[in-house]
């Protein structure tokens, strides 16, 4: 499917000061979650150190392990000597100390605990080294071509790099398919160890930005200040990535500017046929009709000026000849804003209709002849 928005978004990528958006960081990107559309980009493919923003991939693989039944939020994990040896941000795990998967996820999301990130990595893959292999494999599957991971934490390591574009890809995968992560990424203040360990989120947007849903901060002396910030308003969730911000405050200012631009300029609309689609006659089919259904593309990201009054027209074939495969295109739902077509969504066969054989047709013919007589 092609629509005018694709061209508009392509033009947006040619400049970095779109409609007054100013980003001081050298690399930045704004993406809409549902469609994956890029609304703003600046030097988005340059590999840079991500610091603890790395942990988005650690969170993603942990959530996938939970979904697969490998363990649950309540499963107790025992901290290894290796996990406890991590420097930087941590909750000071003691060797053989036990915490639940949920508590370790909380520690990673809220205070960027390196020790808990490694403990989760070991639980998923057996060792941090094996987990890093999975991180890089998953990155390749997501199309993160600018990325090489060397550890599960984002602590400085030679060759450990990613890009604003790739961070947006893994952020989208996490929040799109694992929305439960919000129970941790939206925490501002909390405790662990029965209230003895205090947690305050490193992402101050969680407290101060309307609709903030996460996601992950990061900083080291060489990476400077990094952030993948997510927020949702009016059913639209945006991902703002900032790499190598000069100061902590500037990275939050950049992310807020990107999010403000996205919410002010775009809206998400979900389109469905206004009336039930009629079944289409099938020639020589094992059944007489096939039911058309709406194909992919029913969620539209539109400029706000075009998202108000939308009109639609349906074009369907008069008949279709068997065999009809599942997903065969039967027509088009055209969506317009005024005189401008903003989307052409395919209407597809919602079921398979095999071609009738001679042996199956014969009883029908005999029945018809008998009734006629």
Gap between the Cα atoms of 4 and 301, Å rounded: 11
**Cross-strand bridge partners of residue 268:** 301
Both tokens of 319, joined, read: 């008949």
Do you find a cis peptide bond into 170, omega within 30 degrees of 0? no
| Residue 216: Cβ within 10 Å count | 30
On whether the CB atoms of residues 284 and 322 are closer than 8 A, the answer is yes
Task: Give the three-state DSSP class for 228.
Answer: strand
Quote the CA–CA distance of 18 and 246 in Å, as a whole number: 21
> Quick one: tokens of 310?
């939308």
* Spatial contact of 139 and 47, defined as CB atoms under 8 Å apart: no
Q: β-strand 189-192 against 197-200: which pairing, if any?
A: antiparallel
- Residues annotated as part of the active site: 52, 55, 112
Rounded to whole angstroms, how far apart are CA atoms 368 and 28? 69
Q: Is 309 left (phi over 0), alpha (psi -120 to 50) or beta?
A: beta
């Amino acid at each position: 499917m092609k629509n005018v928005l694709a061209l508009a978004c392509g033009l947006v990528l040619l400049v970095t000061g779109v409609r007054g958006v100013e980003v001081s960081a050298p690399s930045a990107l704004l993406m809409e979650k549902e469609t994956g559309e890029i609304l703003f980009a600046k030097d988005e493919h340059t590999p840079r150190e991500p610091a603890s923003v790395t942990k988005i991939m650690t969170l993603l693989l942990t959530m996938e392990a939970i979904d697969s039944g490998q363990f649950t939020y309540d499963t107790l994990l025992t901290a290894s000597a290796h996990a406890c040896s991590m420097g930087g941000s941590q909750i000071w795990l003691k060797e053989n100390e036990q915490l639940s998967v949920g508590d370790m996820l909380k520690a990673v999301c809220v205070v960027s605990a390196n020790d808990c990130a490694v403990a989760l990595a070991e639980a998923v893959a057996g060792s941090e080294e094996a987990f890093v292999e999975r991180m890089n494999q998953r990155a390749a599957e997501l199309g993160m071509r600018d990325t090489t991971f060397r550890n599960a934490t984002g602590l400085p390591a030679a060759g450990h790099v990613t890009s604003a574009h790739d961070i947006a890809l893994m952020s989208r995968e996490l929040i799109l398919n694992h929305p439960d992560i919000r129970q941790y990424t939206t925490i501002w203040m909390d405790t662990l160890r029965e209230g003895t360990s205090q947690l305050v989120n490193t992402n101050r947007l969680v407290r101060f930005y309307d609709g903030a849903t996460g996601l992950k901060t990061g900083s080291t002396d060489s990476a400077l200040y990094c952030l993948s910030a997510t927020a949702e308003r009016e059913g639209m969730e945006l991902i703002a990535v900032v790499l190598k911000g000069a100061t902590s405050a500037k990275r939050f200012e950049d992310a807020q500017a990107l999010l403000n631009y996205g919410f002010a300029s775009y809206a998400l609309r979900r389109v469905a046929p206004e009336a039930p689609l009629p079944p289409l006659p099938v020639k020589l089919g094992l059944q007489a009709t096939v039911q058309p259904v709406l194909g992919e593309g029913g969620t539209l990201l539109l400029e706000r000026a075009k998202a108000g009054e939308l009109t639609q027209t349906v074009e369907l074939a008069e008949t279709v000849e068997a065999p009809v495969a599942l997903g065969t295109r039967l027509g088009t739902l055209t969506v317009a804003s005024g005189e401008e077509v903003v989307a052409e969504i395919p209407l597809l066969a919602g079921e398979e209709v095999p071609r009738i054989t001679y042996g199956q047709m014969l009883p029908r013919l005999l029945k018809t002849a008998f009734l006629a007589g």
